[in-house]
Structure 1
Amino acid sequence: MVSPRLYHPDLVIDCVEALVAKAGLEALTIRSLTRATGFSNGGIYRTFGSRGGLVGRMWIRAEGRYLQLLRSQIARANNPFDAVLAAAEASIHYPRLYPKSAAVLFTVRREEILSQPMSKEVGDQLRALGHELSEITSQLAIDLWNRCDAEALDLVAVCIHDLPKWIALRNMGFAKPIAGEYLRSAVRAVLDVGPPPLAYERASQLNGSSALHPSVTGCRQRVSCL
């Protein structure tokens, strides 16, 4: 008899997140999952296809939740500078809303997830989420500096990903309000300095030109294709 699909796949994903957050991706096996959930091997395989498909679905839910929060934070900002601050703060709020999802996103690398064997449908969804995050990063860089070359994009990524990870999400014994202040101060300092000037900008200053930086046009073309 073929095992039926599970009626509540989110319950399985909850357990997957808990196992991965506690012991890492390597600790996740279908056997450990059946023990934790009480669901049959057949029901899990029938619903998710494979272990890789299960891992992919876990990441899709976690990153989808994060991107929804990220866009909501940015939408409330009044200017590009505040938008980056708000985006950085998403990483403070997210663990309070979804602690296990946050633990997965901030301890497992996306490359590890994409390396798992999974269906084309799940893989496409993962790549679409990655493109969405890239689009957000690109738009923030354009709004701030009218450019989205590699150095500008890297600097935005430092502000909305790296600094939150190392300041707000580390277990350093800081109370949440002071951790938030540390994060905002660090992001402001980075944005005040900004990305290094490009050779095109230096040449434009010498020539008195104010033409649009070519990286913006290329970036907009890339974003429109995502």
Structure 2
Amino acid sequence: MPRPARYTVDVLLDAAAELLAADGPAAVTMSAVARATGAPSGSVYHRFPTRAALCGELWVRTEERFQEAFVEALTSGDGPQQRCVAAALSVVGWCREHPVEAQVLLAGPDELGLHGWPEPLTGRRKRLQRRLRKALNDIPEDTGRVSAALIDVPYAVVRRHLRARQAIPGSADAIVADCARALIAPS
């Protein structure tokens, strides 16, 4: 029976996320991930042939995890306003529960070398984007207002707390919900 891998993809990506949260995207290097996990550099290169592959996998894994709750909130509920409020609140809740991974989302794919990602990762990301667009197509509002309600406001509210390494306060929920209600007309 083969030995289980000691340095799994998730262990390495968790270390990469911690490095990014502590010191920004430039801190995510193959050697830094190896040092952080105690893994031989060969283990890192075996799973990720390039830094772009490592960073791309970090982004896509984080986006997949985030979208699970976000799309569910956006597609359940009665009207567009209620769904947008739920989705906006899911951003705050997810960031509160996953502050390290939230730092990955705040960094954005461009900071993680988007243009150098291997094709399988860009394909996964395109599927995620299609899934999100499909969920958003059911919201009959101005796209600028929807973007402000679901992305701009929630991220602005959580960003300062995450960057300061502070817990996101409960008051953030009310602010985000009020703004989403103001931006999206009731049905």
Same fold (TM over 0.5): yes
Shift of 1:170: 2.7
Residue of structure 1 equivalent to 2:98? 98
Is the CA contact (8 Å cut-off) linking 1:69 and 1:90 kept in structure 2? yes
CA deviation vs aligned residue, 1:49-83 (integer Å, no higher than 9, x gap):
21111111111111001110112223442222100
Q: Which among 170, 173, 176 is matched to residue 169 of structure 2? A: 176
Moved over 6 A (4+): 172-175
Shift of 1:128: 2.1
Cα distance in structure 2, aligned partners of 1:164 and 1:188: 13
Q: Is 1:54 the equivalent of 2:47?
A: no
Distance of 2:6 and 2:122 partners within structure 1: 21
- 1:140-199: CA deviations, max 9, x gaps? 2x3xx4xxxxxx212211110001012244329897332211111111112249xxxxxx
1:68 pairs with 2:68: yes
**Structure 2 stretches of 5 or more lacking a match?**
none
Counterpart-to-counterpart distance in 2, 1:112 and 1:132? 23
List alignment gaps of at least 5 residues for structure 1. 146-151, 194-226
* Residues 74-100 of structure 1: per-residue CA shift (max 9 Å, x gap): 344222210010110111110233221
Distance 2:127 2:113 in 1: 12
* Cα distance in structure 2, aligned partners of 1:134 and 1:160: 13
Amino acid aligned to 2:176: L
Task: Provide the identity percentage.
Answer: 23
User: For the structure 1 residues 154 and 111, does the alpha-carbon distance in structure 2 shift closer, same or farther, using more than 3 Å as the test?
Assistant: farther
CA distance, structure 2, for counterparts of residue 138 and residue 176 of structure 1: 31
What amino acid is aligned across from residue 166 of structure 1 in structure 2?
Answer: A
* Rg larger for: 1
Give the number of the structure with larger relative contact order, counting CA–CA contacts within 8 Å between residues 6 or more apart. Answer: 2
* Equivalent-residue separation in structure 1 for 2:153 and 2:93 (angstroms): 14
SS class of match (1:170): helix
| Distance of 1:26 and 1:61 partners within structure 2 | 19
Cα separation, partners in 2 of 1:65 and 1:174, compared to 1, 3 Å? closer
Contact persistence 1:137–1:157 (CA under 8 A): no
SS in 1 for 2:78: coil
**2:134 equivalent in structure 1:** 135
Would you say the 8 A contact 1:114–1:123 is kept in 2? Answer: no
Residue 37 of structure 1 and its aligned partner are, at CA, apart by 0.6
Q: AA paired with 1:129?
A: L
**Per the alignment, do residues 38 and 162 of structure 1 end up closer, same or farther by CA in structure 2, a change over 3 Å counting?**
same
Assess if the C-alpha contact under 8 Å between 2:80 and 2:184 holds in 1.
no
Q: Quote the residue 1:12 is aligned against.
A: 12
Alignment partner, residue 117 of structure 1: 116
Q: Structure 1's 192 and 168: CA in aligned 2 closer, same or farther, altered over 3 A?
A: farther
* Aligned-residue offset at 1:133: 2.4
**Aligned 8 A contact 2:95 2:158 in 1:** no
TM-score (norm 2): 0.85
